[in-house]
Amino acid sequence: MADTSGIAGLSAVRLRDALAKGELSARETTEHFLSVIEQRNRHLGAFITVTAEQALTDATAADQLHAGGGPLPLLHAMPVAFKDLTDVAGVPTTHGSAALEHKPAPEDGALAATLKGQGTIPLGKTQVPEFGLTAYSENRIAPPSRNPYSPGRSSGGSSGGSAAAVAAGMVPFAPGTDGGGSIRIPAGACGLVGLKPGRGVVPSGAGAGDAARLVVAGPLAKTAADAALLMDALVPPQDKPDGGYLANVGRTPSGLRVGVSLDSPWAGVYPFRIGQEAHDALAVGIKLLEGAGHSVSEAEIRYDNRYPQAFTAAWTAGVGGARIAPQREALLTPLTRTFRRRAQQRSAAKVNEALKFLRQFEHDTVAQYARWDMILMPSLAQTPRPIGWFTGGGHSTEQWPGEWAGDADEDYKRQCEYAPWSSMVNVCGLPAISIPVHTTETGLPMGIQLIGRTGSELQLLQVAASLEAL
């Protein structure tokens, strides 16, 4: 068997190939990544739960399958992690909330079932914000998920723990879920490729109680090719491009019309400042895209100013119906408690009115985007934020969980100012990708976001791969 000291330098694609060929065993690969988790998680808080014993049992079974000489699944013995909103059989799903009883899930959720069926070995559950509601992964049940590039800063949310785990080499790649930016925000913060597929492309990513059909699952990875490999596992065979995503990711599209827009549907309610680092990343992205032969021009997009109220109503409707014992409500974070109360006070007619508006918003916005092949903007308006910055609390210190300041509206405002170009993509059901293109003087990653047309997931990955090459 190979010396596992070299595993850390392997891409997910190369690791998959080494496992399939028997150059590495499932056991030694699993032991390697568990060792990395043991070394680094105490400083980064990426994992809430590590399932080492079960992972090693699964690895033994994977090695026996390989020894049998039969066909292997696509992701044979590949380690992964699931964010702690996804049910994994036998493992508690905390939803990041101290208000819930943390009982082991009786069976796998659809996303875990899909990837286990493709041969993956789950190593544990990763940190999330309470009920996945926020753009940072801090809660009252475990230490905050920290950014591997600067541990005093957040790794983003709501797939923040998974993004930190990938960026820190604790897993080769990971699935995230995205209902308002939850793949692209942590990808931007942690220097990863993060693809939010279009609505319905990954059936196992749909969220229960998601009336607005906002939530989808997609890959968090270090490279476009690694993300393409995970897409091949997530998308049903009949819905994949001929040959699959990975086989086609190296084919560079040419002559795309890219529209640059800094307009945001949140600007009317929360006028935001774009940091110089975000402008720098955008400038790099434009230069790379033009260097790849694409045409980049300004795009003025007009958004309906009723969007913030309608999106917030749809986004928070689910938490209003969450089953929480009355005596445990006080254990919710201030933001969750506030938005839960408002959701419960909102009539069904008001929610339906919001949903109807969002469908019209989708139609109008997609029609404007259609003048270009892709729409470009920074992934985030600011550098990754310090731990505790959104809540105004004291849990940026070594004393955890610290105090939560409790101003839910200020918290929400800061999130919308930090990630003003995320949620409208979910409402429109379009695919979008965050691509790392820039590093600040202090070593923080910054990225760009490209929003594609319906069905352009492969094209987005191809553009990301071409920018990597440049």
Q: What does the alpha-carbon distance between residue 39 and residue 392 come to, in Å, rounded to a whole number?
A: 30
Of 25, 150, 182, 264, which residue is the catalytic one? 182
Of 25, 158, 379, 456, which residue is the catalytic one? 158
Of 25, 83, 379, 396, which residue is the catalytic one? 83
Cα angle: 167, vertex 284, 185; to 5 degrees: 40
Residue 337 near residue 329, CB atoms below 8 Å: yes
| CA-atom Rg of the chain in angstroms | 21
Residue 84 near residue 128, CB atoms below 8 Å: yes
182 noted as active-site residue: yes
Mode of pairing for the β-strands spanning 121-126 and 79-83: parallel
Which residues, including other chains, have CB under 8 Å from residue 215's CB and lie 6 or more apart?
177, 178, 179, 205, 206, 207, 426
Q: What does the alpha-carbon distance between residue 13 and residue 375 come to, in Å, rounded to a whole number?
A: 29
Query: For residue 66, how many other CB atoms are within 10 A of its CB?
Result: 18
Which residues, including other chains, have CB under 8 Å from residue 344's CB and lie 6 or more apart?
320
25 noted as active-site residue: no
Query: For residue 101, how many other CB atoms are within 10 A of its CB?
Result: 9
204 noted as active-site residue: no
Mind telling me the catalytic residues? 83, 158, 182
